Every structure is written in structure tokens, then in C-alpha cells.
Amino acid sequence: MMLPQRLHKLFTPLIQPLLAVLIGLLAGAIAISFVGEPVFETYKAMWEGAFGNFYFLTSTLARATPILLVGLGVALAFRAGVFNLGSEGQMVLGAVSAALAALCIPGPPVVKLLAAIVAGMLAGGLWALLAGWMESRFKVQLLISTLLLNYVAVLFASYLVAGPFQDKTGSAALAQTPMIDQGAWLPKLFPGMSVHMGFVIAIVCAVVLIVILKYTAPGYEVKMLGLNPFFAQYGGVNKVKLLLLSMFFSGALAGLAGSVEVLGSQYRYVDGALTAPGFAWTGMMAALLANSNPLGTVVTAILLAALETGAMGMERNTEVPLEVASVIQAVLILFISAKLTLKLVKFRRKEREVHGTV
Amino acid sequence: MAHRLEMRNMTKRYGEFTANDNICISLDQGEVLAIVGENGAGKTTLMRMLYGLEQPSSGEIILNGKKVSFSGPQEAISRGIGMVHQHFMLFYDFTVAENIVIGHEPKKYGFFRRKAADEAVQKLAEQFKIGVNTAKKAGDCSIGEQQRIEILKVLYQGADIIILDEPTAVLTPFEVDGLLKTIRFLADQGKSIILITHKLREVMKVADRVTVLRNGKVTGSVHTSETNADKLAQLMVGRQLQKLNERDSISGDILLEAKGITIGQKGEKPELDRVSLTVRHGEILGVAGVSGNGQSQLIQAITGLRAVQEGSVRLKGQDLTEENVLARRKAGISHIPEDRYLWGAAKDATVEETALMGSQRNPKYSEKSFIRKASFRTRVKDWISRFEIKTSSLQEKAGNLSGGNLQKLIVARELDFHAPLLIAAEPTRGVDIGAMEYIHEALLEKRNSGDGILLISSELSEILALSDKIAVMYEGRIAGILDRSEATEETLSVLMAGGKQHDATAKTS
């Protein structure tokens, strides 16, 4: 294949999300001019806040880490044709399990670290698997069960760190676990900068996911299952098994997002520290914006993280409030929901056809 | 007298490609003109230009003696040209009457007058003897009824010239007869009909004149009274079609044995009622029947897509009743599905991905679950050249292939498994004559090599041409099994309509 063609193939999936971001920025510009501030200056401040110097750049990447991991998980589920709206719960359970594993499992720090990561992924994966199992066993719609299980998970985690595993050493009784042994921390990539090893893990996960989806038989089957489940079944794909597997790994990636956030930046599970910044929902947005393309998700995750860190920078240096970032995000969500509605309509139509022929 | 419609020297080019080359047609009042040709011959392009969906590169359209040009369907409709598309455009949640008056609703003070709409539609239906239930929801209507709604919609909009695009492709034989009668009646009422099709039998039955297209050019324009189906086929394909000959029976041991298969909810009438049949090596067992009489369920039961409540499926003596689709495929079943878009492909997948289905875990094409794309591509390229599948590349989306080309791709895929049993469901539905001939030959070749084929088709001519034995399905049961020698169109029709085997043979002997 010729090089331009390759480049073309590589960039086509990026055109749509970038266009959406562009229109989002335009909407933001309108909002900024309402506030009466110069648009260009404001966006410049935003850019500086996200990528202005090495420190800001690494902060953006640090923020992108959990977003990217969650996004990859959502993208995987979406590729298999299911909505996993439960990333938040899966992430939180992963985070609290990782923290507890690092605290409770005896052994050298490396063992603690690995055990924590495995525990986090298992917790997230099993939580997602529960929803998948309910769908295949009792026909409980994933869309609903995953969403509702979020509340269960988040509140259960709150209970754990406000009750049995609360850190009682400090004077203020915050809802958080004790601090993890320093040896079990994920190392920072650069001294003094917030980006940690978790970012590398996330990128590795993205590459692995790309390779699996593109070059392997299970990846092919997942893709076909997502594009047309009837075709996949006809060809001998075990729909239930594959669906459960996809859900498990989707949840495991969300769990990993929570784990690396705990092990690489907070060093303990703090109640609300993962839910307040909305990592899970931003991650979902990243995946949907990128059309569930893992490579695209890397780009959109960093972009969305930059939007958030940039907005903080903007607020520091201009009179424009942080909420402008929300305006831009809202426009992006509009884009995504329009696309999703179309997909859902198509899906329904297909279902209708099936019932028609049988 | 001047013609009602004339299209003169119509040419349409897409870049280098000429879809229509200097095509001339004419149409009089009360006339049925059939435009026939293989897929890709340019029929649809020509009609799209007439309907205002495409602009001609050159040429002129003369309507009632005046030169016209349409920039969109709205203009064509306002000048009395209506089109019934192959894929219906109905709102399923609206009633039949609402669907028909849509866009031209009877109104009073800006409010929709439902009753007036109902009455208008009733009157129209009576006038043209087209039976519909105006109060029913369109989504609850059968395919045949939906088509009648579309025709009424066009009539309601005041069309004098009605274009019907492949109208019989989706219909059962009974519905086809009804439609042909309607077409004839409309013509007798002074409407002019353009019928786009590649089914020559129907053309000979209903059309006054035929224009044959091949590769974007007119290869013949004749009165049906002066021609026959064979001559038309020759004009369409550009060569003599081969006749399928009588052949010796070579059937051997039992290959597939289905016993007492029953599918259905408890307490309800079963969808499939104790169906038993056997397919031997070197035998084609045809399953005839009006679609919707249990054929789909039978296919799904044998391939493992649906669980059976009772009965067993055995292949070469091996019990497959409890096995899943994959295990059955491995045991030696390949399957050309009845609906290529639903079961046979994913529209948004590439040609290569569509071709890969079933081989993704074949050690020949995958290593440690990594797919060996290079060696697989050679295989697909081989199919593409052997079956003359027209696609721009292996990365083209399957949904962008024409129906016939996608079907050829699916047939090639399933044949290349070299499985002892092939289930071929409607293998040539919506496929042009050239491809049909090719697929039929491939099926016969497979049979001659000693494999068994279960052929399910609602085209009687196909069943009769290919089968060694013919089973007829009616309301979820096998109504009778006939030998090739005793089966005729008449005997099968009786069984298909619910008659007994005894009646069928008695009637003809």
C-alpha cells in the first residue's frame, strides 16, 4: 500500500471527532464573547494551561490516564455491540480493591503493587461481568443494569472507607483508607511531575487493544458481533461467551483506571476523589467521540483531559469561568448523542426485520 | 399520436464510467413497458434520471410532447410521475391511510382530517381494485400489503406514469399474481407503467413491450407478442444460456438425517411440527413452499441457530442436536443464508471481513489466533476472479456491493469450506441471470462430487431445475416428498397451497 493511502486510513477515523471538537470550540467562543472577554486570548490561556510548558503537559497526561483506560474499556464493549454505562462503578470498585490489596496483602512492595493491580482489574471486571450475566441469564438490559450498579458500587466503596477500612490515624476523620506503603507506589515518570507509570500502562493497553481488534480472531469476532450479531452467530461465534468476555475486559480496564489512579497519584482511596472529576463519564465520552476506535480514543482522551486542565489554567489567568469548558463538553455530548440515537434507531430497525422474517 | 413519455439519447457518466449510453425509450398511455437487464445494466440509473434523483449528462425527457427536466422527485411527482421503490418507505407506526395521504393530507383550518383521508383512500382503493385495510398500522402489514400501500400512495399523488422497481423480488408467488393483475388493471384504466425487473416470466405475462439493457446500452426493444423468454434472456446476457439437463441419480449413503423436529412454545401451534427429512450424498433435496411456512425455522434448527423442543439432527450418524453452530460447522455443514444482509454479512464490515467469517480460527489462516491476512487475501482474490465479483477492493464495505455480487461472495465463501452438506437457502434471490446460472452450476458441481445439498427456495423453477427430490412445506409441516420424475409445477403448487399429496398426483395423472 502506498504511504498517502496509509496515512489517509490512519486519519479518517480522526476527522469526525476533531470536527466535533472544532464546533465545540466555536460554541465556547460564543460563550466567551458573552462574558465579554477576548476569545483568542482566552483560548491561548487555555492552551497554555494544557500544553504551555512541560509541567502543564504532564499534568494533562496524568489527568488523561484514567480517562483513557476507561475509554478503552467502553470502546471494547461498544465494539462488541453493548453499552457499558457502568464504568464509574467498575472504576471505583477497582480503585478501592487496589488500595485494600496494597494495604492488606503481605510481602515485598512489588508483590503488593502487582497484587493491587490484579485486584483492581478483577474487581472491575467481575462487577461488569455481573451485569453481563444478568443480561444473558435474565434479559436485564445492560444499559440499565450497568448504570444502576454504579450507585451500588460507589456507595459500597464509600461505606468501606467510612467504616471498616477508614484511616483513623489522622486527626480529621476523612472517608479514606490509610496511605499505601511507598514501595508499592507506581513511580512517577519525571521527578516533580504528576504523570506516572499509569500513563505508560494505558498506552500499552491501547496498543494491545488495537492489535487484538485488528489482527486476531477474537478481535475479529468481537467486531463482527458488534456490527451484526446475527452474522456472527451464523458464522459460529458464541455470542453469550464473547459478550461476557467483552464485558469482563471492559470492566477490568475501568478497574485498572481506578487502580493506577490510586497507586500512582493519590496513594490511598479517598471517597469521591474519582467520581468528583467525572473520569468515568469523560472516558465514555472519549470512546464515543472516537467512534470506539482505540487509537482515536488515545487522542480524544488527551484532548478532553486538556480541555479540563486548560480550563483551570484559563480560570487562573483570565476572567472567564471554568464553566466554559462545560459548554464545550456539552456541545460534544450533543454530537455524541445524535450519533448514538442514529445507531440505536438502526439497531431497532434490524431487530424488527428479524422478527419480521421469523 | 405523440407518446406520453419519451426519453431520448439519455447518457449518464460517472467519471470514466458510463452507466447509461444513449438510451431511448418511449411509453404510451395504458401501456406496460418492462425494462429488463442484469444487475448493473443501468436500469436503476435510467429511472433515477426520470424521477429527478439524478441529472443526465446528456439527453432529453419529453413528457406529453413537452421537454421537461426535473431537479428532484417533488417535481417529477407534480408532473404525474410516481415511483414505487424496491425498499418501501413507510412509517410503521402510522396507519395505512395516513401513510398514503402523507404530504398531501386533506386539511381543514390546518388540521388533519383523518376521516376524509380514510374515505379518500377507500375510494381510491376501490377505484383501482387494490385491497388494503386503511385502519391497520403499516408495520403490521405483510410485505405484499406494504407494496400495495406504496402503489396507492403513488396513485393518490396523481401519478399517470408509475415506475415499479423490482416489485416482485420480495413477494410470494401468490402475491406476485395479485400484483401482476393490479398492474394490468392500472394499465387498462389508462395509467402507464414502467416495470423494472429481471424476471422474464413476469415480463412475458404482463408487459406490452420490453426494452432490454446490457452494460448501459439498449440491446433490444420488442413487443412481448413477438418474442419469448429465451430470446430476452439472450439479449440480456449476450449469449445463449445453457439448459440444465436431466441427470442420473448418484445418491449414496445418508448424510443428513433430521427426525421429528419440533419448534414452538408450549400450548401454541408449533412453528415447526415434527419435520423429518434425509439428504444423501450426491443428492439435492429441494424444499419448496410459500415463504413463511417453516422454512426459516427448519434452516435454523439444522444449523443450530435455534434450539429444538423435540427431534434430532444427525450428520453422517453423528448426533448434533445439542451442538452449537460452530460445532455443526466443524462437523461439516456450510450454509448460504436466506437473507444475505441479516445473516450472511455485516453491511459495515469490509469484503475481506465478510469473506473471513467461519475461517477466522481455521489453522490455515490463523496462527496462535493471529489471522494470517496475506494468505487469506489470496484466497478471496481467487473467489473474486472465479465468480466475477465486482468490488473496488477488498476493503470496500460489504453493504456497498450490489446484491448479486454480495450473494456471489457468500456463495463462494460457503462453497470453499468444502463441507459435505451445504444448506442453500434462496441462493439466487435478487441475483441476475448470469450469476444465477453460475451459482446453479456450482451447486450441481458440488452435488456431482458426492456432497449433499439442502436447497430451500420459494422459486419453483429453481427447485425443479436442481432438485433430485422435492419436499414441500406447508404450515410448519412436510406436506409431501416427491421424486424429481413425478414433480411438476402443478403437483407442487397443490401441495404448497395445503392440498394432500394424493390430490396432487391424482390431479395430474
Q: CA–CA separation, B305 vs A232, rounded Å?
A: 11
Which residue in B91, B140, B342 has the most chain A C-beta atoms within 10 A of its own C-beta, making it the best mutation to test that interface? B342
Inter-residue contact B322 to B311 (CB < 8 Å) = no
Q: CA–CA separation, B138 vs B168, rounded Å?
A: 19
Per-residue pLDDT at A154: 94
Highest mean pLDDT among B158-172, B246-260, B445-459: B445-459
Per-residue pLDDT at B34: 93
Task: Check residue A175 and report its DSSP letter.
Answer: S
In a domain, A58, yes or no: yes
Q: CA–CA separation, A71 vs A88, rounded Å?
A: 11
Put simply, whether A2 touches B (Cβ < 8 Å) is no
Residue A252 neighbours by CB under 8 Å, 6+ apart: A73, A94, A121, A122, A124, A125, A128
CATH 3.40.50.300 residue ranges in chain B?
Answer: 5-237, 254-342+420-508
Structure confidence by residue, pLDDT tens digits, B481-500: 998 888 877 788 778 776 66
SS3 state of residue B287 = strand
Nearest to B342 among A224, A230, A236 (CB): A230
Q: CA–CA separation, B464 vs A319, rounded Å?
A: 82
* Nearest Cα to Cα of residue A135 among A87, A90, A85, A82: A82
Confidence of residue B354 (pLDDT cuts 50, 70, 90): very high
- CA dihedral of residues B252, B258, B260, B261 (deg, nearest 10): -160
SS3 state of residue B67 = strand
Q: CA–CA separation, A168 vs A155, rounded Å?
A: 20
Task: Check residue A66 and report its DSSP letter.
Answer: H
Report the gap between the CA of A319 and the closest CA in chain B (Å): 47
Put simply, whether A350 touches B (Cβ < 8 Å) is yes
Q: CA–CA separation, B398 vs B405, rounded Å?
A: 9
Per-residue pLDDT at B265: 79
pLDDT score of B503 more than 90: no
Per-residue pLDDT at B412: 94
User: Which residues from chain A sit within 8 angstroms of residue B362, using beta carbons?
Assistant: none
CATH of the domain at A102: 1.10.3470
Taking CB atoms and an 8 Å cut-off, how many pairs form between chains A and B?
78
User: Which residues from chain A sit within 8 angstroms of residue B296, using beta carbons?
Assistant: 357-358
Nearest to A227 among B303, B348, B370 (CB): B348
User: Which residues from chain A sit within 8 angstroms of residue B366, using beta carbons?
Assistant: 217
* Nearest Cα to Cα of residue B423 among B314, B320, B332: B332
User: Which residues from chain A sit within 8 angstroms of residue B338, using beta carbons?
Assistant: 357
In a domain, A86, yes or no: yes
Q: Residue A171 phi/psi, 5° resolution?
A: -80, -45
Q: Provide the ipTM.
A: 0.81
Inter-residue contact A49 to A317 (CB < 8 Å) = yes
CB contact under 8 A, A224 and B353: yes
Q: Residue A309 phi/psi, 5° resolution?
A: -65, -35
Nearest to B357 among A235, A353, A354 (CB): A235
| Residue carrying the nine cell digits 484532548 | A303
Question: Strands B58-63 and B66-68, how do they pair?
Answer: antiparallel
Put simply, whether A348 touches B (Cβ < 8 Å) is no
Highest mean pLDDT among A22-36, A200-214, B360-374, B459-473: A200-214
Exposed / middle / buried, residue A70 (Cβ in 10 Å: 0-12, 13-18, 19+): buried
B422 versus B248: which is more confidently predicted? B422
A137 versus B175: which is more confidently predicted? A137
The alpha carbon dihedral of B293, B296, B299, B300 has a sign of negative
The alpha carbon dihedral of B394, B398, B404, B410 has a sign of positive
H helix or E strand, kind and range, residue A130: helix A109-138
Q: CA–CA separation, B490 vs A358, rounded Å?
A: 27
C-alpha cell at A14: 480522526
pLDDT score of B127 more than 80: yes
SS3 state of residue A99 = helix
User: Would you tell me the crossing angle of helices A54-79 and A239-261 to the nearest 10 degrees?
Assistant: 160
Helices and strands of chain B, counted as H and E runs: 17, 24
Inter-residue contact A328 to A28 (CB < 8 Å) = yes
Confidence of residue B509 (pLDDT cuts 50, 70, 90): very low
C-alpha cell at A185: 507506589
What are B196's strand-pairing partners?
B35, B165
Phi-psi region of B59 (alpha: psi -120 to 50; beta: other; left: phi over 0): left
Q: CA–CA separation, A223 vs B352, rounded Å?
A: 13
Report the gap between the CA of B504 and the closest CA in chain A (Å): 28
Q: Residue A166 belongs to what domain range?
A: 18-357
Counting as low any pLDDT under 50, the low residues of chain A are: 1, 354-358
User: Which residues from chain A sit within 8 angstroms of residue B326, using beta carbons?
Assistant: 236-238
* Nearest Cα to Cα of residue B437 among B204, B233, B281: B233
Report the gap between the CA of A36 and the closest CA in chain B (Å): 45
Task: Check residue B277 and report its DSSP letter.
Answer: E
Residue percentage of chain B with pLDDT more than 70:
94
What are B293's strand-pairing partners?
none
What are B480's strand-pairing partners?
B472
Residue B191 neighbours by CB under 8 Å, 6+ apart: B30, B155, B159, B160, B161, B162
H helix or E strand, kind and range, residue B406: helix B403-415
Per-residue pLDDT at B92: 86
Per-chain mean pLDDT for chain B: 87
Task: Check residue B242 and report its DSSP letter.
Answer: P
H helix or E strand, kind and range, residue B461: helix B460-466
Q: Which fold has domain B254-342+420-508?
A: Rossmann fold (3.40.50)
Report the gap between the CA of A353 and the closest CA in chain B (Å): 8
Burial A13-45 (b: 16+ CB within 10 A, else e): bbebbeebbeebbebbbebbeeeebebeebbeb
Q: CA–CA separation, A24 vs A194, rounded Å?
A: 28
Inter-residue contact A68 to A301 (CB < 8 Å) = yes
CB contact under 8 A, A228 and B353: no
DSSP labels for B156-210? Answer: HTT-SEEEEESTTTT--HHHHHHHHHHHHHHHHTT-EEEEEES-HHHHHHH-SEE
Q: Residue B27 phi/psi, 5° resolution?
A: -145, 130
Inter-residue contact A103 to A234 (CB < 8 Å) = no
In a domain, A334, yes or no: yes
Which residue in A6, A214, A222, A234 has the most chain B C-beta atoms within 10 A of its own C-beta, making it the best mutation to test that interface? A234
pLDDT score of B240 more than 70: no
Inter-residue contact B419 to B454 (CB < 8 Å) = no
Nearest to A234 among B337, B369, B370 (CB): B337
pLDDT score of B198 more than 80: no
Q: CA–CA separation, B296 vs B273, rounded Å?
A: 13
CA-to-CA separations, B393 to A93, A309, B100, B365, in angstroms, rounded? 47, 44, 41, 20
Q: CA–CA separation, A201 vs A7, rounded Å?
A: 26
Q: CA–CA separation, A265 vs B428, rounded Å?
A: 62
Per-residue pLDDT at B1: 54
Inter-residue contact B95 to B116 (CB < 8 Å) = no
Per-residue pLDDT at A172: 66
The domain made up of B5-237 is a member of CATH 3.40.50.740: no
Structure confidence by residue, pLDDT tens digits, B31-50: 999 998 876 678 888 988 99
> How many domains does one find in chain A?
1
Report the gap between the CA of A250 and the closest CA in chain B (Å): 20
* Nearest Cα to Cα of residue A221 among B424, B305, B326: B326
CB contact under 8 A, B356 and A220: yes
Per-residue pLDDT at B274: 92
B interface with A, Cβ–Cβ below 8 Å: 92, 139, 271, 296-297, 303, 305, 324-326, 329, 335, 337-339, 342-349, 353, 356-358, 360-361, 366, 369-371, 373
User: Which residues from chain B sit within 8 angstroms of residue A350, using beta carbons?
Assistant: 342
In a domain, A96, yes or no: yes
Q: Residue A210 phi/psi, 5° resolution?
A: -60, -45
What are B310's strand-pairing partners?
B262
Per-residue pLDDT at B299: 95
Confidence of residue B427 (pLDDT cuts 50, 70, 90): very high
B388 versus B506: which is more confidently predicted? B388
Exposed / middle / buried, residue B16 (Cβ in 10 Å: 0-12, 13-18, 19+): exposed
Put simply, whether A93 touches B (Cβ < 8 Å) is no
| Chain A residue at shortest CA distance from B414 | A235
> How large is the average pLDDT for residues B408-436?
90
Exposed / middle / buried, residue B129 (Cβ in 10 Å: 0-12, 13-18, 19+): exposed
Residue B187 neighbours by CB under 8 Å, 6+ apart: B30, B31, B32, B193, B208
CA atoms within 13 A on the CB side of B274: 1
Inter-residue contact B166 to B83 (CB < 8 Å) = no
Inter-residue contact A240 to A231 (CB < 8 Å) = no
Q: CA–CA separation, B163 vs B146, rounded Å?
A: 16
Per-residue pLDDT at A347: 58
